Chain A
Amino acid sequence: MNTIRKVSSTPHVRGKVTTNHLMLAVVTALLPACGYGIYNFGNRALWIILITVASAVLTELFYELLCKRPVTIGDFSAVVTGLLLALNLPVSVPWWICVVGGIFAILVVKMLFGGLGQNFMNPAFGARCFLLISFTSLMTNFECDAYTGPTPLALLKSGETANVYDMILGRCNGTIGETSMIAIILGACFLLLLGVIDLRVPGSYIVSFVILLGMFGPAGFDFNYIVAHLAGGGMMLGAFFMATDYVTRPVTVNGQYVYGMILGLLTFFFRIYGSSAEGVSYAIIIGNLLVPLIEKITRPRAFGIRRKM
């Protein structure tokens, strides 16, 4: 009997959880936000979501068929990307923006860099920023119940006040998925309970943002103002669903805290000093670009090895 065993490289213990399960969990967790978006903005929101998801999935399928690579659309990561992108679009966008966004997110940001796990930037936010720069007027045309108006954050920026309770509930203007703080928190709790995400990145992100806003913001520690900033814009969606993306956040634990704080700092700067009322998308993609650097300086010390300084 041959008793020689070969030792494979790590990992030696594998869990049963696959990419597939994680992505399905994320999709499930996004359903409340989708549902509220459709309730708030009408059936058009449903179409936007469907078109964006379909274009993301089909792009991945066609790219892989064209390049004769294994087809990976079964892992639902393209669905998640499409869904997150759709939730970050205003309901009034024309259909072709959804298609362009889905193609850009998957083709340019994800597949050209090597597919899932290789992308250096969150595909959904990469595409959103691409669309935002390309079609600024279309992408900032927010309407709700056929009424076009500024988002609560834009109101705050211009010095007016916003109704905080409406914002927490979601009865306000914005992109399809970002308006309802409650629906997003519901989904985030689901992911937290399943252990798919943890509070390191969102926690340090939100805490550092609140501290900065309280200390240096125009309204100081004004409860309404701070809650409005948390509930408004892409803050919740970004903190819980985009910043926690496994691929584009740091892998080191300390790095994740640093990453969260950088996001908080950038969001604070963009929202308070920037020309636009919203800053989460840009903060997160810039944070993504800093991830390799963060990982380099927060690499944990291996056992028995002295840190070189």
Chain B
Amino acid sequence: MNKAGERLFNGLVKENPTFVLMLGMCPTLAVTTSAVNGLGMGLTTTVVLALSNVIISLMRNIIPDKVRIPAFIVVIATFVTLVELLLEGYLPSLYEALGIYIPLIVVNCIILGRAESYASKNPVIPSLFDGLGMGLGFSVALTMIGALREVLGAGEIFGYRVLPASYVPFSIFVLAPGAFFVLACLTAIQNAVKLWGEKKGRDMSKIQSGCGNDCTTCGHSKEAACIKNEQEEK
């Protein structure tokens, strides 16, 4: 049963889709203007990811190899449509804020990447937890980026004022360039932690560095990482 826990940890830390795998950059950069939007996007993606992983894992033996990508997309698109309608009905403000990025979850390469590299080769329960772990890792990353951008760009977190009123917000942080600055800084901090730990002689294999590593030396997850890289490029 440790498989499930291992999958969760893998998605949250070791292969965090945002900071380590650098997947799904489009929603990461575009919707994280505030912590709420980041969290909403992350959780929406988590739901789609976990459910589509389950279905794809169940159908992995009956989907012909040649048409697997269209089949995955059909499954993913079904769940995205479901989630989109639910959001429109129950959370209209989030639906408005995320806009076009909800339908675009269909082409989010994290989901397609997990379907291709994990769910289509593994049983249902680990696939479910893989989807949950990846989705939660994505949510945490997006919420962090969103919170930082909101603090710097508006002086608030989740809509609550945290900085004094005399603080003049750097409005660049709620605009597109701010997303790049914050993402770069957070990734740099993670790499710095890893390098610092390695210098002290600790085992840092649990925190992988970004895809700057080439896949041949990347260790046991190299196959998955390579497949995902290819998909990212596509």
Contacts and interface: CB of A to CB of B under 8 A. Distances in A.
B168 A136 contact: no
A130 B172 contact: yes
B177 interface: yes
A137 to B, nearest CB: 10
A133 B177 contact: yes
Contacts of B171: 133-136
Interface in A115-141: 130, 133-136, 138
A16 B171 CA distance: 46
B118 interface: no
Contacts, number: 17
Contacts of B168: 135, 138
A133 B169 CA distance: 11
A119 B172 CA distance: 21
Q: Which of B171, B172, B173 has the most CB of A within 10 A?
A: B172
A134 B152 CA distance: 10
Interface residues of A, number: 7
B175 interface: yes
B170 interface: yes
A138 B169 CA distance: 12
Nearest to B169: A134
A135 B177 CA distance: 14
Contacts of A134: 169-173
Nearest to B171: A134
B154 to A, nearest CB: 12
Contacts of B172: 130, 133-134
Nearest to A100: B170
Contacts of B173: 134
A145 B168 CA distance: 25
Contacts of A135: 168, 170-171
A108 B184 CA distance: 11
Interface string A182-213: 00000000000000000000000000000000
Interface in A93-108: 108
A133 B176 CA distance: 11
Nearest to A135: B168
A134 B177 CA distance: 10
Interface string B171-191: 111010100010000000000
Interface in B135-170: 168-170
A133 B168 CA distance: 13
17 contacts: A108-B181, A130-B172, A130-B177, A133-B171, A133-B172, A133-B175, A133-B177, A134-B169, A134-B170, A134-B171, A134-B172, A134-B173, A135-B168, A135-B170, A135-B171, A136-B171, A138-B168
